[in-house]
Amino acid sequence: MIRRRIHLPSDYAARVDRLLAESLGGFSRQRIQRLLEDGSVRIDGHRVRKGETLRGECVVEVAVDDSAIAALPPEPEPPIAILFEDLSCVALDKPAGRAGHALRSGERGTIANFLTARFPDCSSAGDTPLEAGLVHRLDTETSGVLLAARTREAWKALRRQFRERKVGKLYVAVVQGALANAGEVTRAIEPHPRNRRKVRVLEEGESSRRARPAVTRFRPRGRGSDATFLEVELPTGVMHQIRAHLAAIGHPVLGDTLYGGDPIPEGRHLLHARRIEFDHPETGKRIAVESRVPEDFVIALRRLGFRLSALRFRHHDADR
């Protein structure tokens, strides 16, 4: 038997069965219910009930068989560009359209499959081999920098930095309409009550037991044809945060049809994780990793009438 530790941030609240469904990839809902019923799940050493809501910072321990979480099939092809690599961690340039984490044993085509093949030590770094050491998430249609750990110690250190909001995250996005001024959205986000694929942004002054605090800061950098190019900073990290926050203020990301954005020929939404900054888990040195804006994103910008030279791209982005 092994024990898996799931650390919760102090501002997190969720039903324990929902948390386990999100954290234990490869486990069916029936299997999770059995774990709860037979006492295999404990919170800070105490047995927990299926419908219990967890709040504040605590440690969830789950006793499971090693065989219950099978390793992913390694897939070195198609290759993913490596942006940073050492013995502790690796940063990848995730393409749009490819999922990061795997959700079940035997799944193929994810970034985790590639990590399992290219960096086998990633498989034992996180809480489950299905995440292959990944320390954060990007939506499937979002491209850009994705960070993974190669050791258990590095994974814990990087996850701690995310929880403590010490990781710098800069995105670029193209939203519908004209957005003239910089701003900040601080409205909390909760799971959507009727659509499990979405989240819901609370109104100002509204409260919910399931909501999590979220802060999104944006700066307009250029105007195109009924569209605005933004730089977006993300101090917090909630599912679909940028997409939901920008849609909530009337400017959905172009291509993001789930949150009201218009479809575009590129077949993706125009959101890209441009840069990530973190303290190296061993040396403590501040590391900044950047991802070039991908070709399909640049094609969309040109089609929408943006002047690339005005968007403060590096030379190799604007001239491709």
Say which of 127, 139, 256, 317 is annotated catalytic. 139
Vertex 171: Cα angle to 125 and 168 (nearest 5): 55
Total residue length of the chain: 320
Known catalytic membership, residue 139: yes
Which pair of tokens denotes residue 123? 């498989």
Distance CA 97, CA 24 (A): 23
Distance CA 311, CA 60 (A): 45
Vertex 319: Cα angle to 316 and 320 (nearest 5): 80
Strand partners, 171: 232, 273
Strand partners, 286: 279
Strands 46-47 and 183-185: unpaired
Q: 197 to each of 23, 60, 135, 194, how far by Cα in Å?
A: 16, 25, 21, 9
168, burial (CB in 10 Å: exposed 0-12, middle 13-18, buried 19+): middle
Residues designated as active site = 139
